[in-house]
Amino acid sequence: MGLGTVVVTGAAGTIGSVVRRALRGEVDRLALLDRVPLRAEAANEEVHTVDLRDAAAVETALAGADAVLHLGGLPDEAPLEHLLEANVLGTHHVLEAARRAAVPRVVLASSNRVTGFYPVTHRTGPREPVRPDGLYGVSKAAVEALGRLYADKFGISVICLRIGSFEEAPAEPRHLATWLSPRDAVGFCRAALAAPLSTCFATVYAVSGNTRRFWELPAESELAYTPLDNAEAHASHIADTDPHADSGVDSGAGPEAPQGGPYALPEFTLKHLRP
């Protein structure tokens, strides 16, 4: 079964670029949105230079869509006002445009940083309370809350993907737990777009099948995708791997160290606060 017309926001980004190439052969029409001008690379692609803060422009771009993959926004720690504008308000505009255009499925890019303060020895599930490791994580918790609201109140089928460390290959000890390979990123996005519309709302961790992962993988009933890659295949190339508890963090961090690693340090957020 084809995916019909799919809109991808943040299509010029790191994940957006990979997903774009993978999906273009599986959809009737692929509408690509970004603040950065893009060029159509296939007959079924159309490009829109859109700032997600522009609600009217977002609504126009979503016309006729069967599903939206919302990857746009600020991808890292920043002053809260910037995160609220780009991530929370931008997501609201996408969901509101989907409601007005009767788009049945929206996939939202959330982040593992929503739960970055759980300890590395705790296998975290998506139904546990959020414990963001910074302001970025706070903004993504708000994104998930908006998705839940639009699912419950307006009947849009919303799936939130808590994306892991998206890299070509693991590059540091923490990645042995958090890595999301490009192949698995595409797999999770494709599965979320194609999931039955009877799924009203779901939050799943999008992470490769890493032996040392911190997070629960989705059950078949939540998302029909099983990761294909495992960071352990790259462990011999990563220095200072902590063997204790298979935590995948720097040696000496200890079993109570937060999953967010350096993102959970006060200094990571203090530089974005008023002095």
Q: Give the separation between CA 195 and CA 189, rounded to whole angstroms.
A: 10
The catalytically annotated residue of 118, 136, 150, 225 is: 136
Token code pair at residue 268:
């990571």
* Phi, psi for 195 (deg, rounded to 5): -60, 150
Q: Give the separation between CA 232 and CA 209, rounded to whole angstroms.
A: 9
Q: Give the separation between CA 225 and CA 244, rounded to whole angstroms.
A: 30
Is 136 designated active site?
yes
**What is each CA distance from 32 to 70, 99, 211, 245, in whole angstroms?**
10, 19, 35, 43
Q: List residues with catalytic annotation.
A: 136
